[in-house]
Amino acid sequence: MSLPRYRFLLATVMFMIRVYIGFILLVPSLYKTTISTEFGVSLGLTGFLTALIMFPGLVIPLMGPVISKVGAKNSGLLAIGIITITGYLIGFSQSFAIATISRLLMGFGVILAVPAFSPMIMTWFTEKEYGRVNAIIESSTSVGIALNFALTPILFPPPLWREAHMVYSTLALALTVIWLALGRNPYGKVEKEKGKYFEMLKSSLARLFGIREVVLMGGILFIAMGVTMAISDWVSTFLADERGYDLQSAALAIVVYDVFNLVSWPAGGFLSDKVGLRRPFLMAGGFMAFVSIFLATTTPYFAPPLIVYILMGLFGFFNAVYGFATATILMEHPKIDAKSIPYAVSIILWFGFIGGAVMPAVVGLISDITGSIYYGLLLCSFFYILVAVFGLLSRETGWKATKK
C-alpha cells in the first residue's frame, strides 16, 4: 500500500514534540539549590519537584478512553497545550505549592502525548517502516535529556530557573501552533469507540490484558525503564563511593552509556525493518545487555576505568537495540487495531513507569541491607535475562514471518 509522503513531515513534528518532552523532564534538577533557597524548602523537597512529573504515569491507562473520545490529533494538541500552560505557571509561581501542583499537572500532558501519537504511527506507516519510525521517535526522550543538560546551564545559569521555564514554555507554545497546523489524525477511517468512559476502559483493558504480547512487552518495559533508571541513578555513586573514582570520572560512565544508547535506538529499528524480524533483537539485546552490565559493575573491582567505560558503552548499545520492538510488536499484532493501540501502549508504559518508580528504591534498599551498592546493581543485571526470555515467548510479527 502506498502512503502519502506527508507521513515523514508528520513523524518529524511528533519527534520534535517528544524531544521537547524529554528536554523539560529534568529542568528543575539543575536548580535544586536555587529553588530550595528561594522558597525556603529542603533540598529533598526540590528533588520531589523534579520527580512529580513522572507520577501521572501510574495512571496512564486512563488516557485510552480520552484519546478515543477526543481523537488522536486533538489529544496531542491537548497534551502539548497542558505542558505549555503548566510551564508558564511554574515560571510565574510565587509559592512552592503552586510550582509542585503545576509540575504534577504537566505530567498529565506528558503521559497523554505518547499514546496519542501511536495510532498515527500505526496508520501513516507500513510494517516495513515501523521499526525505524518507532526507534527514532522513542529515542527522542534521550535526545531531549541530553540537550537539556548540555544547553540549559549555558543559556540559563543559576539562579535563572524562572527564565528557563518561561522561555521553554514559549517554545512549547510554538510547538502547539505547529501541531495545530501540521498534525493529522490517523490515516484512513478509524472508527471511534462508543460508550461511557469507564465501560470503554474496562472492556478494552480486559481484552488487551488477555493478549500475551501486551503483558510480555509490559514486562520488558518495566525492566527497560526501571532498571535503566536504577543503573543511571546509582552507577556513578557506586564508582565514586565504593571504587574510588572522582566524581567527574564516575559520571563519565553514564555519559558513555547515553552516547551509545542514542546510536543504538535507530540502528536497531532500521536493521529490524531490513531483516523483517523483531524477536531476535529482544533475545540478543536482552542477553547481551545482561552480560555487559554484569561485567561493567563487576570489573571496577579489578579492571581500569577504560574497561568499565567500554562495557558501559556496550550496555548502552544493547539496552537500546531492542527498544523499537515493544511498540512495534503491538502495532503489528493481528488482535490490535488503530482504535485499541493507544490502550495497548498505555498499558506497557504503565508497567514502565512502575519500574521507574520502584527499581531505584530497590537498589537503595539492598544497599542499606548489604552495605554495598554493588549487590543491587548485580540484581539489576539479571533482570535483562528476562528481556531475552520474554522475547522468546512472544510471537514474531515482522514482515518476513507474516508475509503470505
Percent of the chain with pLDDT over 70: 98
CA distance 272 to 267: 8
Cα 268 → chain centroid: 16
Checking if the pLDDT of 307 tops 70, the result is yes
Model pLDDT, residue 294: 96
Instruction: Give residue-wise pLDDT tens across range 80-130.
Output: 999 999 999 999 999 999 999 999 999 999 999 989 999 999 999 998 899
Model pLDDT, residue 201: 84
* Topology match between the domains 1-190 and 193-395: yes
Model pLDDT, residue 191: 63
Domain ranges of the chain: 1-190, 193-395
| Confidence band, pLDDT 50/70/90 cuts, at residue 249 | confident
Cα 225 → chain centroid: 7
* Mean pLDDT, range 43-56, rounded to an integer: 80
Model pLDDT, residue 246: 85
Instruction: Give residue-wise pLDDT tens across range 164-216.
Output: 999 999 999 999 999 999 999 999 876 666 677 778 888 888 999 999 999 99
Q: Quickly count: other Cβ atoms within 10 Å of residue 390's Cβ.
A: 24
Model pLDDT, residue 192: 65
Model pLDDT, residue 115: 93
| Confidence band, pLDDT 50/70/90 cuts, at residue 147 | confident
Checking if the pLDDT of 366 tops 80, the result is yes
> Are the C-beta atoms of residues 133 and 44 closer than 8 Å to each other?
no
Record: fold of 193-395: Growth Hormone; Chain: A; (1.20.1250)
Checking if the pLDDT of 326 tops 80, the result is yes
Checking if the pLDDT of 30 tops 60, the result is yes
Lowest mean pLDDT among 208-217, 226-235, 291-300, 386-395: 226-235
Instruction: Give residue-wise pLDDT tens across range 51-84.
Output: 788 889 888 888 888 898 889 999 999 999 999 9
Model pLDDT, residue 190: 66
Lowest mean pLDDT among 122-126, 348-352, 354-358: 354-358
Checking if the pLDDT of 254 tops 90, the result is no
Checking if the pLDDT of 404 tops 60, the result is no
Percent of the chain with pLDDT over 90: 62
* Mean pLDDT, range 229-242, rounded to an integer: 84
Q: What is the mean pLDDT of the chain?
A: 91
pTM of the model: 0.83
> Could you tell me which CATH class the domain 1-190 is placed in?
mainly alpha
